[in-house]
Amino acid sequence: MTAPRVTSATPGERSDFGGTERTTVAIVGTGFGGLAMALELLRNGFDDFVLLEKGDDVGGVWRENTYPGAACDIPSPYYSLSYEPNPTWSSRFSPQAEIQQYMRGLVDKYRLRPKIRFGCEVSSATFDEATNTWRIDAGGTTIVANVFVPATGQLSRPKLPDLPGLDEFTGPSFHSAQWDHSVDLTGKRVAVIGTGASAVQFVPAIQPHVAHMTVFQRSAPWILPRPEVQYRKWHHTLFKLVPPVRLAERFGFWLLCEVISLGLVDAPWMRPLISQIALRKLRKEVPDPELRGKLTPDYAAGCKRGLFSDDYLPTFSKPNVSLETTSIERVEPNGVRTADGTLHEADVIIYATGFRATEFLGPITVRGAGGRDLAEVWRDGAFAYKGMSVPGFPNMFLMYGPNTNLGCGSIIYMLETQAGYIAQVIREVARRRGIAVDVREDVCTEYNRALQKRLDRSVWTLCSSWYRNASGRITNNWPGTVLAYRMTARRWQPSDYRTVLPARSTEGVTV
Ligand code: NAP
């Protein structure tokens, strides 16, 4: 995209009056979604945007999730921006701190910091039809922007379990995404509730330190091998000097995930293959048949997110670890009581119970044209056109929106596709001063009808997971490969959208 020249008087700067800031594009969040969008704009010569960040650093989930053992379970050569490869990852599955450092490095390299408003938590965004602009309330500041890009992610709001007595526990307790590092677990009796991707990483990491750990499992996860490699100096040199080697690593994992993704939707015959690999691993790593029985999933592989670990299953054979599969009745002052009446005493409780993933954009109040409330529009489940546009919300484009999550693959690949698409629209909005574009209702409805039809044959219909809302609708996942999504969203089609002119003069509007 050639650089559209923007006529904002003071791009990305605060005005002197009433804490109002004018900009062309307001991006909410500085996780991978927000950064991918900002970098795409900069790479195209467009710099009239701000990033609103509620925290005091960049990183999104990679800033928040600091639990012991936190690492990416998608290989880093694939879980990074295609145009910003990092030849010096310390290992194939990089630890959290290194990923956040990579993100900070992007911010520094592209001189993004002056564009980021830290400590700016967005509470509401309202579309003003008179001027075709979004008014975004963020603490004491109002941002007026032509384009609103929420990039708040799907996994940013921790969810505590809906159990009675949570407040009665007298010891420390915390969610895995809000790890309390001031609590020393050494020699403590620890209760862990939940056995998803987060628990699978921190359970083996804390086991050597605790006196005893009881892991409360509601559903056993499918665990696959994690082909970890510690990259040495020679790897780094090779990756730097011979880029095809690094690209081969990226391509290999991309291809593997693409094949697995086919198995999750269109090629069900592949699923037994995946479960066989996991069951063989389980037999090898858990010799005790009774324990193995408890750790054997009772639902189709891939229905909940498949997990990659070589140290999680062996942890349950350690003398200081118990696996509890009786359902939890309540939390009490001294521990966790299960339905069989047993009190499992604990000094610390860690909730690894996931996120409010289906509540996209919550708790931000978003009002579009005619004052329509996005929460109301999404009351039966979030939806969007290609995961980015919702009819009646002109010039709003979501990053990592509804139905763009993956059962297997790098979400960064998806984000690059979305950033490219949104940048094309921004170019048009910047070119045609004052217009807004609103996805056509019929186009969006037909897109989602076909999408849900495809999802009906996916493995995700076979169990409950964070991919589905309370009524069972799959609101989070994309039913296919990342390549298929890229083909769908590589070009913005103006005919899919209505052009909306502002109700009154565009004097002062920044595009
Ligand atoms: P999660 O996968 O949603 O797992 C939550 C766990 O808590 C599940 O085992 C769930 O059981 C259990 N649970 C929830 N409520 C419960 C209750 N009332 N009683 C007992 N158990 C309860 O959450 P997560 O582990 O934080 O992972 C969420 C997502 O974050 C992952 O799927 C992944 O996409 C992402 N993540 C990625 C990485 C990475 O390396 N890239 C690492 C961590 C997380 P049920 O299954 O029975 O509901």
pLDDT at 5 over 90: no
Q: Best of 78, 218, 309 to mutate for ligand 1, by most ligand atoms within 8 A of CB?
A: 218
**Torsion sign across C-alpha atoms 252, 257, 259, 260:** positive
Determine the pLDDT at residue 184.
98
Closest CA to 185 of 359, 346, 403, 21: 346
pLDDT at 431 over 80: yes
Q: Is 69 in the pocket of ligand 1 (CB under 6 A)?
A: no
Distance from residue 410's CA to the centre of ligand 1 (Å): 18
Q: Is 175 in the pocket of ligand 1 (CB under 6 A)?
A: no
Rg (CA), the chain: 24
Q: From CA 197, how far away is CA 200, in angstroms rounded?
A: 5
Determine the pLDDT at residue 339.
98
Q: Are 47 and 37 in contact (CB under 8 A)?
A: no
Q: Is 92 left (phi over 0), alpha (psi -120 to 50) or beta?
A: alpha
Q: Is 193 in the pocket of ligand 1 (CB under 6 A)?
A: yes
Residue 90 DSSP code: S
Instruction: Please report how the helices 233-241 and 243-265 are oriented relative to each other, as an axis angle in degrees rounded to 10.
Output: 90
Q: Is 486 helix (H, G, I), strand (E, B) or coil?
A: helix
Nearest 5°: the CA angle 490, 266, 458 is: 95
Distance from residue 364's CA to the centre of ligand 1 (Å): 23
Q: Which residues fall within 8 angstroms of residue 153, CB to CB, at 6 or more apart?
A: 29, 31, 33, 60, 61, 400
Q: What is the dihedral of CA 143, 508, 423, 243, to 10 degrees?
A: -80
Confidence of residue 422 (pLDDT cuts 50, 70, 90): very high
Determine the pLDDT at residue 8.
36
Q: Is 481 in the pocket of ligand 1 (CB under 6 A)?
A: no
Q: Is 328 in the pocket of ligand 1 (CB under 6 A)?
A: yes
* Three state DSSP letters for 33-79: HHHHHHHHHHHCCCCCEEEECCCCCCCCHHHHCCCCCCECCCCCCCC
Helices then strands, counting H and E runs in the chain, come out as 13, 19
Distance from residue 38's CA to the centre of ligand 1 (Å): 30
Distance from residue 328's CA to the centre of ligand 1 (Å): 16
Distance from residue 218's CA to the centre of ligand 1 (Å): 11
5 compared with 307, residue with greater pLDDT: 307
Distance from residue 40's CA to the centre of ligand 1 (Å): 31
Q: Are 371 and 384 in contact (CB under 8 A)?
A: no
In order of their start, the domains of the chain are 19-156+356-500 (3.50.50.60), 166-230+234-351 (3.50.50.60)
Q: Best of 198, 325, 351 to mutate for ligand 1, by most ligand atoms within 8 A of CB?
A: 198
CA-194 nearest atom, ligand 1: 7
Q: From CA 50, how far away is CA 136, in angstroms rounded?
A: 12
Residue owning the nearest CA to atom 16 of ligand 1:
161
CA-351 nearest atom, ligand 1: 7
Distance from residue 197's CA to the centre of ligand 1 (Å): 6
Q: What is the mean pLDDT of residues 218-222?
A: 97
Closest CA to 36 of 95, 102, 89: 102
Query: pLDDT of 7-29, one tens digit each?
Result: 333 334 443 334 899 999 999 99
Q: Is 352 in the pocket of ligand 1 (CB under 6 A)?
A: yes
Q: Is 249 helix (H, G, I), strand (E, B) or coil?
A: helix
Q: Is 125 helix (H, G, I), strand (E, B) or coil?
A: strand
Distance from residue 195's CA to the centre of ligand 1 (Å): 6
Q: Is 60 in the pocket of ligand 1 (CB under 6 A)?
A: no
Residue owning the nearest CA to atom 46 of ligand 1:
219
* Weakest-pLDDT range from 288-292, 499-503, 507-511: 507-511
Mean pLDDT of the chain: 94
Query: pLDDT of 176-197, one tens digit each?
Result: 999 999 999 999 999 999 999 9
Q: What is the dihedral of CA 97, 240, 227, 267, to 10 degrees?
A: 100
Determine the pLDDT at residue 10.
36
Distance from residue 267's CA to the centre of ligand 1 (Å): 26
Query: pLDDT of 60-105, one tens digit each?
Result: 999 999 999 999 999 999 999 999 999 999 999 999 999 999 999 9
Distance from residue 370's CA to the centre of ligand 1 (Å): 38
Q: Is 219 in the pocket of ligand 1 (CB under 6 A)?
A: yes
**Torsion sign across C-alpha atoms 327, 198, 356, 263:** negative
Distance from residue 158's CA to the centre of ligand 1 (Å): 10
Q: Is 72 in the pocket of ligand 1 (CB under 6 A)?
A: yes
Q: Is 463 helix (H, G, I), strand (E, B) or coil?
A: coil
Q: Work out whether strand 122-128 and strand 133-138 pair parallel, antiparallel, or are unpaired.
A: antiparallel
Confidence of residue 203 (pLDDT cuts 50, 70, 90): very high
Query: pLDDT of 445-485, one tens digit each?
Result: 999 999 999 999 999 999 999 999 999 999 999 999 999 99
